[in-house]
Structure 1
Amino acid sequence: MSDNPADERTFKVVLNDEEQYSVWWADRELPAGWRAEGTEGTHEECLERISEVWTDMRPLSLRRRMEQDAAAS
Structure 2
Amino acid sequence: MSETQEIQQFHVVVNGEEQYSIWAADRALPAGWNLGGLTGTREACLEHIEQVWTDMRPLSVRRHAEAAAR
TM-score, normalised to structure 2, is: 0.91
The structure with the greater share of residues assigned to helix is 1
CA shift, 1:38, in A, is: 2.0
Where do 5+ consecutive residues of structure 2 fail to align? Answer: none
- Quote the Cα distance in structure 1 between the aligned partners of 2:7 and 2:65: 42
1:68 aligns with 2:41: no
- Quote the Cα distance in structure 2 between the aligned partners of 1:11 and 1:38: 11
Percent identity (aligned): 60
Tell me which residue corresponds to 2:53: 54
Aligned length: 68
Q: Match of 1:8, SS?
A: coil
Q: After the TM superposition, which residues 1-73 of structure 1 pair with which residues of structure 2 at under 5 Å, given as runs?
A: 1=1, 8-71=7-70
Where do 5+ consecutive residues of structure 1 fail to align? Answer: none
CA RMSD of aligned residues (A): 1.6
TM-score, normalised to structure 1, is: 0.87
- Quote the Cα distance in structure 1 between the aligned partners of 2:35 and 2:25: 9
